[in-house]
Structure 1
Amino acid sequence: MIKKLAGLLLLLPVLAISSVAIASDQQSAAELRKLLDQTTTLKGEFVQTLFDGQGKVQEESSGDFVLKRPGKFYWNTRQPYEQLLVSDQESIWLYDPDLEQVTVRSAQDDLQQTPALLLSEDVNTLREHFAITQQAVDASREEFLLTPTRKDGLFQTLTLVFTGEAKARKLSEFHILDNLGQLTRFVFQKSVANETVSDSIFQFTPPDGVDVLYD
């Protein structure tokens, strides 16, 4: 059961240049902010793949997600095991139906430990916690490497990938390199940006009979 929680635990203690180029931190943050500001909400499906240090696939999961800036997300893993991760910008809930258990923690001071929350955060907040480097790949794809300023988190780097036309790019995948040298790749599919999303989806009420743990 510990293994099946590994992907979501990463999210817990976890939004056009033709040649490759690297910009300064300030320039990178400005470009990242421009891209994030194009998207207020994003929802769709995801595939999550964990690779070991040699690049061998260890496990894969899939489900659906909703992001709403700033600070709200709904991350519902359906296969191979059901798990739900929800944040309303104040609290983070991790629900495991098989364990009949909910873990609750504050989202306020958890930025470096919560990659999923990073995707919905304000760029100025990100700059307080990360060095941001833009790595533009081609005219339809841009990547940003975020490196934590603290060294006691669960991951070494976070890479955000945006694809599409320059004026309509949206987040299409992100990669997390953890401190064990493992890479987790999240790919978004059938995603739709800027649709109206009710805040009710980012609220979670534990079902009757489950254990509620406060971290």
Structure 2
Amino acid sequence: MKKMFVTLALGALAAAAHAGAIDSLENFVRNAKTGHADFTQVITAPPRDGQPGRTKSSSGSFDFQRPNRFRFEYRKPFEQTIVADGQTVWLFDKDLNQVSQRKQVKVLANTPAAVIAASPDLESIKRDFELQPLPDQDGLQWVQATPRQKEGQLTSMKIGFRGDQLAALEIQDSFGQRSVLTFNNMQVNAPVNPQTFHFTPPKGADVLQAP
């Protein structure tokens, strides 16, 4: 009887710890109105022709202002800028001197940005994602977010928190690619210059209208 009680108690503690990951997500989307962080990103392609999957790494900075505004500034190994201004998502490749633009409403649904920058509350996220707490790993609490619509490129996403602070994203897409973003030096609710989320194509750049 004593052994059974201990087992049940440990199970209850584990369930409470897992549920804490959902609480961390809810607190983040409710309380983090703006944010700035440095990030590293590692993309691993699936194995092909008997060869192991290749990886490529990049790094830069990330800013967001809820709802629907964010900026990824890639600095290494190549300079790229992705800006969502609330209406349009802009992607600028400096080496190609090329800009693509797309209506934001067509882009954000069922993407990581819908969680970390767009949605103002947990219920909004639950409309697009099925949420499930995962066991703690690498010192982080994890939430699995699976898109309810299956036709998009995103197939699953894990969101890692250190307390209520966003620490990592692990993204799996329909092409078998795995992308891991790690956030460092996260500053929440610090003042953000509105121009951060404004983009004007550079003079002479090719501007493409994406479908």
Say yes or no: TM over 0.5: yes
Partner in structure 2 of residue 126 of structure 1: 125
Task: Kindly report structure 1 stretches of 4+ aligned residues shifted beyond 4 Å.
Answer: 20-23, 27-31, 54-57
C-alpha root-mean-square deviation of aligned residues, in Å?
A: 2.5
Quote how far apart the aligned CAs of 1:179 are: 1.3
Partner in structure 2 of residue 156 of structure 1: 155
- Residues 171 and 59 (structure 1), Cα distance of their counterparts in 2 relative to 1, 3 Å cut: same
Gaps of 5+ in 1: 1-16
Any conservation in 2 of the 1:51–1:184 contact (CA below 8 Å)?
Answer: yes
Identity of aligned residues (%): 29
Gaps of 5+ in 2: 1-11
**Per-residue CA distance 1:18-50 (angstroms, 9 max, x = gap):** 636666xxx986663233223111212100001
Alpha-carbon separation, structure 2, partners of 1:80 and 1:205: 23
Q: Counterpart of 2:68 in structure 1: which amino acid? A: G
How many residue pairs match? The answer is 191
Any conservation in 1 of the 2:111–2:154 contact (CA below 8 Å)?
Answer: no
Q: How do 1:65-80 and structure 2 match up within 5 A?
A: 65-80=62-77
Any conservation in 2 of the 1:112–1:148 contact (CA below 8 Å)?
Answer: no
Tell me the SS of whatever aligns to 1:81: coil
Quote how far apart the aligned CAs of 1:148 are: 1.0
Quote how far apart the aligned CAs of 1:191 are: 1.7
Any conservation in 2 of the 1:62–1:80 contact (CA below 8 Å)?
Answer: yes
Using the size of structure 2 for normalisation, the TM-score is: 0.80
Determine which structure has more spread, i.e. the larger CA radius of gyration.
2
Tell me the SS of whatever aligns to 1:111: coil
Quote how far apart the aligned CAs of 1:194 are: 1.3
Q: How do 1:1-215 and structure 2 match up within 5 A?
A: 19=14, 32-53=25-46, 56=53, 58-112=55-109, 114-122=111-119, 123-137=122-136, 141-164=140-163, 169-215=164-210
Alpha-carbon separation, structure 1, partners of 2:85 and 2:69: 5
